[in-house]
Amino acid sequence: LLYGYQLKKDAIDEEVVRMAAEEMGY
């Protein structure tokens, strides 16, 4: 359960970084 949560957290963090990068024009 904890491992799956960590994977989901990493995926969400990556999605946030991707959206932020698009807003900044990268």
Determine the distance from the C-alpha atom of residue 6 to the mean position of all C-alpha atoms in its chain, rounded to a whole number. Answer: 11
What pLDDT, on a 0 to 100 scale, did the predictor assign at position 19?
95
What pLDDT, on a 0 to 100 scale, did the predictor assign at position 26?
66
* DSSP structure string for 2-24: HHHHHHHHHHHHHHHHHHHHHHH
pLDDT tens-place string over residues 4-20: 888 899 999 999 999 99
What pLDDT, on a 0 to 100 scale, did the predictor assign at position 4?
86
Closest to 17 measured CA to CA, from 26, 5, 7, 8? 26
What pLDDT, on a 0 to 100 scale, did the predictor assign at position 3?
82
